[in-house]
Structure 1
Amino acid sequence: MSIFLFVVFILLIFINVPISIALGSASLIFFLVSGNFPLELIPQRMFAALDSFPLMAAPFFILAGKLMEHGGISQRLIDFAQSLVGQLRGGLAHVGIVTCIFFAALSGSGSATTAAVGSILIPYMVKEGYDRAFSTAVQAAGGTTGIVIPPSVPLILYGVSAGVSVSSLFIAGIIPGLMIGLSLILVSYVISVIKGYQGTQDKMNVKKLAVSFRKAFLSLLMPVIILGGIYGGIFTPTEASVVAVVYGFFIGFFVYRQINFSVLREILVSSVVTTSVILLLISTASLFGMILTRERIPQTVAETFMDSPLTPLIIMLLVNVFLLIVGTFMETIASVIILTPILLPVVTGLGMDPIHFGIVMIANLSIGLITPPVGINLFVGSQVGQVPYEKLVRAILPFLVMMIVDVLLLTFLPGISMFLVDVLES
């Protein structure tokens, strides 16, 4: 019967049924065909999946991210990043990635980061002589840090699904997110040297750096408040998400004055739509996951790997390849919710810490943001940068290869993810 469940689900996906509807429909059909489950269990299970205090952080961080996206912080972050790294070869490319890192720590969204930074920086890079496809690829790749660096909605959903601390996941994501960002800067530097792109004409200017930092200070302060508050014991991650909303609204409305009531209405509507899609996906995925658990699919997968002659190294490589393939055609949030119950018993059976695996999983799935055919950052970048999709795919390949190397490093060097967690929890 479990094979029947997957066959129905894959058929629905194949005919372009939205993932949340496909999950719910496949589960309902399984209920009707098997006859082993009372139908009233469906709404009960779907509601129970959403009745979670840690999960409340997701819609609030989504709203906070959209407030920041529309709140006038992009240009300030770009100016600050340019004063930091603009003088290097290919300086504007590095500015784009550094700005994406800063913005990712505010929005927690890969596509929002790509859109907000790219809409300003891509035209500027093209004007300065950079190839349009390369300029767009830089922003699309830089946007992937949005789901690794906290606050990150996929990290929250992984924490809820795996039953691990969201606070610890946030802390564990800091160094990996920065590492991925720095590796992307390395790629952009090499490409810039090959193509002869120069840095900005201005030399490092301490005064200019101080001025740009002062203008961007309130924006940069937000992740400090969130993470500092969580680990200072002032508030939980869920409470931190509400603080982020209040802070984002205050800066955008009263300080930067980029948000008015018309923009606020747009932000609220967009946040409600995004949240509704995610919550529907969570509830139907929970129903799907309940069937998998009762059919012992996760346990069977774990036992199969544990009883196989494969070494732990090979098993982890296979898990990474599997996540990489799934990320190419399935949306990140859906992948996290569906695959966490299946893969977690496998990796914990190998002795891997669930928090470490969470970072590896999210970093791996972040590659899917820039991988055809689903890669949402590619679609956003193509629209913002006015680049044909096929041309952008070719330009993104060097960044794609580097991110695969990053994931392998994160997998087999757990200290990268766990160092700050061990220090703060010791």
Structure 2
Amino acid sequence: MTLAPVFILLAGIGIGIPVALAIGIAALSFFLISGAMPPEIFVQRIVAVTHSFPLLAVPLFVMTGVVMNYAGITSRMMSFAEAMTGHWKGGLAQVNVLLSTLLGGVSGSANADAAMQSKVMVPEMTRRGYDPAFSTAVTASSSIISVIIPPGIGLILYGFMGDVSIGRLFLAGIVPGIVICAAMMGAVAVQSRRLNLQPALDNPMPWADRGRAFVGASLALMVPIGIVLGIRLGFFTPTEAGAMAVMFAAIVGIIYGELKFKHIQPILEQTMQATAVILFVICSANAFGFYMTWERIPTMLAEAMLALTENPLLLLILINLLLIIAGMFIEGSAALILLTPILVPVITTVGIDPVHFGIVMVFNLTVAGVTPPLGTLMFTTCSITGVSIAKFIKASVPFYIVLFGMLLILTYVPQLSLWLPNLQFK
């Protein structure tokens, strides 16, 4: 067995080579060094994964989020969030958290959510006297909710790589997403009182105005509901749901009168750019996964972990620690693609439900995105807002406590994730 590709991968990440490229170089090195098979197989492995029908959901849901931004739906959702929570202490911070939850059914991407809110919410919070470090910490931490509210792209990738029902994963993310939103809003309320942050609105908005704000956002709110119901009732597959979401977002934008013909080009450009990054990682990881399978690395790692313990509770602790460490150094999607084929056989051996584990794994790797040293959400938000990493980490400590606490709850209370899919898929 050769471990040279593993060391090449770690060295590439260590010197700052983009993760997708580092994975691809490491995979290619196996075909060039080992001589076990012709290098043409590397190209075949790269191309073969692009023929997967489930992966078509990725660009479709990415496009849904882009279309909704141009259609004016995002701004209407922000208005609705402010109407409901703007009169609370630290009202804009509460709007930030609630908006992340609402956008979870739109963008499906924590990075997209964090980048958008860093540009929209943080400047407004700063203008109203909020500490930029606090605003940035709220933005990065709350964006994590986006990944497990359907149609989270991380859930699609996990389902594809682990051969797990994407429909069940979508249902499994709803209750945890709501619970995490409530926990984050509670943390914001405590910090707002401690920092004496003022409400965004002097008085609660009249219910008539709240109703109008809800009507403005109602069509967007129907997207995740429509996706889940459509899959559950058998009208379409998760992949086809992406196409339906794009069509629905475009129709809504036309109804609102904000989606124009001139927007087609930037929508396609942004969709292709975001999709290319994700698929480059997937293609490279597929070739690297072929190397690991050939050398039986997943099997040996699984046997090693099971040799340490076959107790599901202890095994979940070990895996969570492994994921946190991996997520600190490798971008969440890349880590998810690399580790899912290794870990799913391990957890199923000891009787852990792969749907429950999928929620834990996706959430864990995204939480690692707000932690040093290389958290992608941390760098994304700080680079946009101009806040130093040191100030960000200090402001994020209360949110770290909440997020890691929620990780433990999701890990050891599986019914939070499994209640809804078990109810609907009996």
Q: What TM-score, normalized by structure 1, do the two folds share?
A: 0.95
Tell me what 1:39 maps to. Answer: 39
Q: Give the direction of change, closer, same or farther, for the CA distance of 1:16–1:119 in structure 2 (3 Å limit).
A: closer
CA shift at 1:310, angstroms? 6.8
Q: Are residue 230 (structure 1) and residue 231 (structure 2) matched? A: yes
Structure 2 contact 328–375 (Cα < 8 Å) conserved: yes
Q: Which residue of structure 1 lines up, in the alignment, with residue 276 of structure 2? A: 276
In structure 2, the partner of 1:245 is 246
1:72 and 1:373, CA in 2 relative to 1: closer, same or farther beyond 3 A?
A: farther
Deviation at 1:280, TM superposition (A): 1.9
Distance, in Å, in 2 between the alignment partners of 1:138 and 1:222 is 25
Secondary structure of residue in 2 paired with 1:405: helix
For structure 2, the residue ranges without an aligned partner over 5 or more in a row are none
Match of 2:176 in 1: 176
Residue in 1 aligned with 2:131? 131
**Distance change (3 Å), C-alpha of 1:88 and 1:338:** same
Distance 2:120 2:17 in 1: 35
Distance in 1 (alpha carbons) for counterparts of 2:24 and 2:129: 50
Post-superposition Cα deviations, 1:57-101, rounded to whole Å, max 9, x if no partner, equal 111111111112333223211221122222322222111100111
Structure 1 CA distance, aligned partners of 2:154 and 2:239? 14
Deviation of 1:388 after TM superposition, in Å, equals: 2.8
1:208 CA displacement: 1.6
Partner of 1:327: 327
Partner Cα distance (2:291, 2:383) in 1? 40
Q: Which has the higher mean CA deviation after the structures are superposed, 341-350 or 184-193?
A: 341-350
CA contact (8 A) 1:172 1:356 kept: yes
The whole-number CA distance in structure 2 between the counterparts of 1:330 and 1:398 is: 24
Q: Is the CA contact (8 Å cut-off) linking 2:311 and 2:350 kept in structure 1?
A: no
User: Per-residue displacement from partner, 1:87-140 (whole Å, max 9, x unpaired)?
Assistant: 322222111100111012111111221233343322332233322221222122
Q: Identify the residue that residue 117 of structure 1 maps to in structure 2.
A: 117
Provide the rounded CA distance (Å) in 1 between the counterparts of 2:115 and 2:4. 40
Paired residues for 1:177-256 under 5 Å: 177-199=177-199, 200-203=201-204, 205-252=206-253, 254-256=254-256
Cα displacement (A) at 1:9:
1.4
In structure 2, distance between residues paired with 1:136 and 1:12:
30
CA–CA separation in structure 2 for the residues paired with 1:189 and 1:90: 7
Contact 1:74 / 1:117 at 8 angstroms: preserved in 2? no
Q: Tell whether the 8 Å contact from 1:2 to 1:292 is kept in structure 2 after alignment.
A: no
Q: 1: CA distance between counterparts of 2:310 and 2:109?
A: 37
SS at match of 1:151: coil
Report matched runs for 1:71-86 at 5 Å: 71-86=71-86
8 Å contact from structure 2 (residues 104, 145) kept in 1: yes
1:175-208 CA-partner distances (Å, limit 9, x unpaired): 1112221111111111011112243321252112
- Counterparts of 1:163 and 1:373, CA distance in 2: 32
Deviation at 1:282, TM superposition (A): 1.0
Determine the C-alpha separation between the residues in 2 that align with 1:115 and 1:278.
17
Task: Say whether the 8 Å CA contact 1:148–1:362 is kept in structure 2.
Answer: yes
Question: What's the offset of the Cα at 1:412?
Answer: 0.9
Report deviation, 1:309: 4.9
Q: TM-score, normalised by structure 2?
A: 0.95
Task: Identify if the C-alpha distance between structure 1 residues 323 and 309 changes in structure 2 by more than 3 Å, giving closer, same or farther.
Answer: closer
1:312 paired residue number: 312
Question: 1:47, CA displacement in angstroms?
Answer: 2.1
> CA–CA distance in 1 between the matches of 2:258 and 2:122?
21
Which deviates more from structure 2 when the two are superposed, residues 39-48 or residues 338-347? 39-48
CA distance in 2, matches of 1:194, 1:334: 38
Query: Could you report, residue by residue, the CA deviation over 1:187-233 in whole angstroms, capped at 9, with x for unpaired residues?
Result: 11110111122433212521121111111111112222222211121
Cα distance in structure 2, aligned partners of 1:18 and 1:376: 12
Q: Is the 8 A contact 2:158 2:358 kept in 1?
A: yes
Q: Is the 8 A contact 1:306 1:346 kept in 2?
A: yes
- Show the counterpart of 1:64: 64
**Structure 2 equivalent of residue 53 of structure 1:** 53
Aligned to 1:402: 402
Instruction: Write the distance in 2 (CA, Å) between the matches of 1:70 and 1:404.
Output: 35
**What letter is aligned with 2:182?**
L
Q: Does the CA contact (< 8 Å) of 1:122 and 1:135 recur in 2? A: yes
Other structure's SS at 2:197 match = coil
- Provide the residue aligned with 1:389 in structure 2: 389
Secondary structure class of the residue paired with 1:352: coil
The corresponding residue for 1:156 is 156
Please tell me the root mean square deviation across aligned C-alpha atoms, in Å.
1.8
How far apart in 1 are the matches of 2:285 and 2:380? 26
Q: Structure 1: give runs of 5+ residues left out of the alignment.
A: none
Change (3 A) 1:192 1:271: same
Stretch moving more, 75-84 or 361-370: 75-84
Secondary structure in 1 matching 2:231: helix
Count of residue pairs the alignment pairs up: 425
Deviation at 1:168, TM superposition (A): 0.7
Corresponding residue SS for 1:150: coil
- Letter aligned with residue 139 of structure 2: Q
Q: Which amino acid aligns with 1:86?
A: G
1:110, 1:369 within 8 Å by CA — same for their partners in 2? no
Letter of the 1:281 partner, please give it: V
* Distance in 2 separating the partners of 1:38 and 1:384: 45
Range moving further from structure 2, 41-50 or 226-235: 41-50
Judging changes above 3 Å, is the alpha-carbon distance between structure 1 residues 381 and 22 closer, same or farther for their aligned structure 2 residues? closer
CA distance in structure 1 between the aligned counterparts of 2:309 and 2:99, rounded to whole angstroms: 46
Preserved CA contact (<8 Å) 2:310 2:350: no
Q: Does the 8 Å contact 1:125/1:135 carry over to 2? A: yes
